[in-house]
Structure 1
Amino acid sequence: MSSKKIVLDFYKSDALINADVIKEFIHPEIIVDWNNSEGFTQLDYDSIINFSEVLSKAYVRSKVRISHIVSENNMVSVRYSHFAKTIENPREEMLIGHFMVIWEIKDDKLFRGFQISQKP
């Protein structure tokens, strides 16, 4: 499977709010460097699973709208906006943030990520 297809399948799935699904996409040695509105965070496999479990308690639906995706060999860059429906208000879709991430794919899994995000 191509690196671009792996990344597209990841963002089209419920992986961001479903720990069982996210496990199918991430490499056991994954590391994500994330610069966000709160500062810098580095995530490993366990912290990504935990983060997905936290999101699943707050959101009933998650949707990613990709505006740009560029792929070269095992590297994929994606620019997207993340939307979600909360448990408190499942009828209204709200913007979570805007993201830019560079993914390195290894063994057909997300292996190394460099992400920047901004709240709306």
Structure 2
Amino acid sequence: MSTKELVQNFYKSDALIDSEILKEYLHSDVVLDWNSSKGFVQMDYNALIEFSEELAKAYIRSKVRISHIIAENDMVSVRYSHFVKTIENPREEMLLAHFIAIWEIKDNKLYRGYQMSQLS
């Protein structure tokens, strides 16, 4: 599987709200630097798993729509919009935020990430 396919499969999966799936994609030494409209946060493997578990408590469905994806060697850049369905209103899909991420792939896993997001 190419690095581009790996990242596409990651975002097409339920990994963002299913920590067991997420574990399949994360390198044990993963680090994500995330600049959001609320500030900067750096997340390691455990923090990403906990974050996925928190998202699963609020959302029953997560869908990513990728608009751009570019791969070069072990680096993949992706621009996407993240949509969710809440437990309270499972029929309505709402836009959570817009993202751009750059992922370094190591051992066919997400290893080093740089991400920016803006709430919808």
The residue aligned with 1:47 is: 47
- The alpha-carbon deviation at position 52 of structure 1 amounts to 0.1
Listed one character per residue, the Cα deviations across residues 31-70 of structure 1 (whole Å, up to 9, x for unaligned) are: 0000001100000000000000000000000000000000
Once residues 117 and 59 of structure 1 are traced to their aligned partners in structure 2, the CA distance between those partners, rounded to angstroms, is 18
The residue aligned with 2:72 is: 72
- The alpha-carbon deviation at position 83 of structure 1 amounts to 0.1
The residue aligned with 2:3 is: 3
Once residues 112 and 45 of structure 1 are traced to their aligned partners in structure 2, the CA distance between those partners, rounded to angstroms, is 11
Once residues 95 and 26 of structure 1 are traced to their aligned partners in structure 2, the CA distance between those partners, rounded to angstroms, is 25
- In structure 1, the gaps of 5 or more residues are none
Structure 1 segments, 4+ long, off by >2 Å, are none
Once residues 85 and 43 of structure 1 are traced to their aligned partners in structure 2, the CA distance between those partners, rounded to angstroms, is 24
DSSP-derived class of the 1:4 partner: helix
Question: What's the TM-score once normalised by structure 2's chain length?
Answer: 0.99
Once residues 31 and 45 of structure 1 are traced to their aligned partners in structure 2, the CA distance between those partners, rounded to angstroms, is 7
- In structure 2, the gaps of 5 or more residues are none
Question: What's the TM-score once normalised by structure 1's chain length?
Answer: 0.99
DSSP-derived class of the 2:81 partner: strand
Once residues 64 and 70 of structure 1 are traced to their aligned partners in structure 2, the CA distance between those partners, rounded to angstroms, is 16
Aligned length: 120
* Aligned residues with identical type, % of pairs: 65
- The alpha-carbon deviation at position 103 of structure 1 amounts to 0.3
**Which amino acid counterpart does residue 106 of structure 2 have in structure 1?**
K
**Which amino acid counterpart does residue 118 of structure 1 have in structure 2?**
Q
- The alpha-carbon deviation at position 23 of structure 1 amounts to 0.1
The residue aligned with 1:63 is: 63
Once residues 87 and 22 of structure 1 are traced to their aligned partners in structure 2, the CA distance between those partners, rounded to angstroms, is 21
